[in-house]
Structure 1
Amino acid sequence: MTQNQADNTQQLTELIQNWALWRDAGRWERFRTVWHNDGRMMATWFQGTADEFIEANKEGWSKGVVILHFLGGSTIDLAGDRAVAQTKMTISQRGLVDGVLCDVVCTGRFYDFFERRSGRWGFVLRQPIYEKDRMDPVDPGTPLHLDQDLLMSFPEGYRYLAYLQTRVGYDVKKSMPGLKGAEVEELYRRGDKWLSQADFDLWSVSWV
């Protein structure tokens, strides 16, 4: 790895880390700096621009929504002024499920599209990949009875996360990429195009 590649990798790693730390801490002004102006966020409960995502998070905070992130290792592919990164992560959310306080933990990856503009790297798109999840009552002795028809209507990789988010009032997208399947394969193809085709426009294809 050249010094230039190492420097770029370090900058991108810091962006990935800052995204999680500043979002989870509610440092919204600092959080905004990791995005480019046209940056977009895709998640189970939200799909839209970075600015809309920040406002949605602020609203959730005011209502007591608790969603936290923990990061693992990253791999970063560089191609000139573009990059794609994958980072192991967990998403944890606490909320009431039919009157029972529960924690959901979802394991997956952040799949990120970056671009360097005027010398500054920033997020263009963050698309999580949801691999597996589980739900537990905060009080382990509390019985929990889930609506099986609703539960099984969601993809396997984020089934319990989607159930909780639906119960607390969110409209959950049911076609997010998982560990396997057409959705994640299409995401990989778009990542390859982002790196190899300088004129590839991420927004020429539907993400919602």
Structure 2
Amino acid sequence: MDTDQSRIRQLVENWALWRDAGDWERFATVWHPDGWMSATWFQGSAADFTAASRHGFENGVSILHFLGGHTSDVAGERAVAQTKMTISQRAEVDGVLVDVVCTGRFYDFLARDGEGEWLIVRRQPIYEKDRLDVVDPTASLELDADLLARFPVGYRHLGYVQTKAGFTVRPGLPGLVGEPVDHLYAEGAAWLAGGEPASAQTVGRPHI
């Protein structure tokens, strides 16, 4: 593995380890100054995402990440990385403790800073499939079919749990196939070619 790809992989792993451990000072170092985070429950600057994640962590919100296979495409001072991941959240739904696990990919737009270090400019998860399990096998839970149907299949149960927990969950995020993920791939290609992603204005990702 060449040096750039190795450093990018380390950056992605640092994101997950430092965020889930609540190491907020080091977590802030993985982001470009204009960094932007999109997720089911959050769309905004990296600084605001760090603050919101810290607030949730300190108030008992349990969202953890596990990483798998990784690849990156490097073009000069820019790169796009994809990393297989799972998002695991534990929460109560209607008084029943559940675990929801979503499998997908982190799709990262990256840029090299003035010192040659790679930083995350924008992160957009791709949500491929999910499931919900009751923690206590003797408990039972009946889901609201109408609420469940609001969300795409890739994060249907994750969106359900997060909505029940009081989050506002964004619809129409990229899944395994379909227009949203095709559009994301086109944005990634544009980024590597030196341009701005077509939806830079609509997603709020700052120009750099």
What SS does the corresponding residue of 1:33 show, helix, strand or coil? helix
Deviation string, structure 1 residues 98-155 (Cα, Å, up to 9, x no partner) = 1100000000000000000211210000000000000001112211101001001111
1:180 to 171, 177, 180: 177
Q: Are residues 1:89 and 2:121 paired?
A: no
The answer to whether structure 1 residue 66 and structure 2 residue 73 are counterparts is no
**Conserved? CA contact 1:113–1:191, under 8 Å:** yes
CA distance in 2, matches of 1:140, 1:124: 42
> Which residue identity is paired with 1:122?
L
2:31 maps to which residue? 35
Q: 1:202 and 1:146, CA in 2 relative to 1: closer, same or farther beyond 3 A?
A: same
The CA RMSD measured in Å over matched residues stands at 1.3
Which whole-Å CA distance do the structure 2 matches of 1:90 and 1:204 have between them?
Answer: 26
Helix, strand or coil at the partner of 1:189: helix
SS at match of 2:187: helix
Query: Residue type matched to 2:15 in 1?
Result: W
Query: What's 1:155 paired with?
Result: 152
**Other structure's SS at 1:190 match:** helix
Q: Could you tell me whether the CA contact under 8 Å between 1:106 and 1:130 is conserved in 2?
A: yes
Residue 112 of structure 2 corresponds to residue 112 of structure 1:
no
- C-alpha distance in structure 1 between counterparts of 2:136 and 2:195, whole Å: 53
Q: Distance in 2 between matches of 1:185 and 1:206?
A: 16
Moved segments of 4+, more than 4 Å: none
SS at structure 2 position matched to 1:36: strand
CA distance in structure 2 between the aligned counterparts of 1:112 and 1:92, rounded to whole angstroms = 20
1:122 correspondence with 2:108: no
Does the 8 Å contact 1:194/1:202 carry over to 2?
no
The 1-side partners of 2:56 and 2:173 are apart by: 21
Residue 69 of structure 1: CA displacement? 0.2
TM-score (norm 2): 0.94
Size of the aligned set, in residue pairs, is 203
How far 1:14 sits from its partner (Å)? 0.4
> Distance between the aligned counterparts of 1:167 and 1:107, measured in 2?
20
Match of 1:165 in 2: 162
**Partner SS, residue 200 of structure 1:** coil
Q: What is the SS of the residue equivalent to 1:179?
A: coil
Whole-angstrom distance in 1 between the partners of 2:111 and 2:26: 19
Q: Which runs of 5+ in 1 are unaligned?
A: none
Contact 2:187 2:197 in 1 (8 A): no
List per-residue Cα deviations over 1:44-90 (Å, max 9, x = no partner).
Answer: 00000010001101111122100000000101001000000000000
Specify which of 10, 16, 39 is matched with residue 12 of structure 2. 16
> 2:106 & 2:135 partners in 1: Cα distance?
26
1:201 CA drift (Å): 5.5
Q: Counterparts of 1:203 and 1:15 in 2: how far apart (Å)?
A: 25
Residue type matched to 1:121 in 2? W
Instruction: Return the alpha-carbon distance in structure 2 between the equivalents of residues 199 and 174 of structure 1.
Output: 27
Contact 1:135 1:160 in 2 (8 A): yes
Which residue matches 1:144?
141
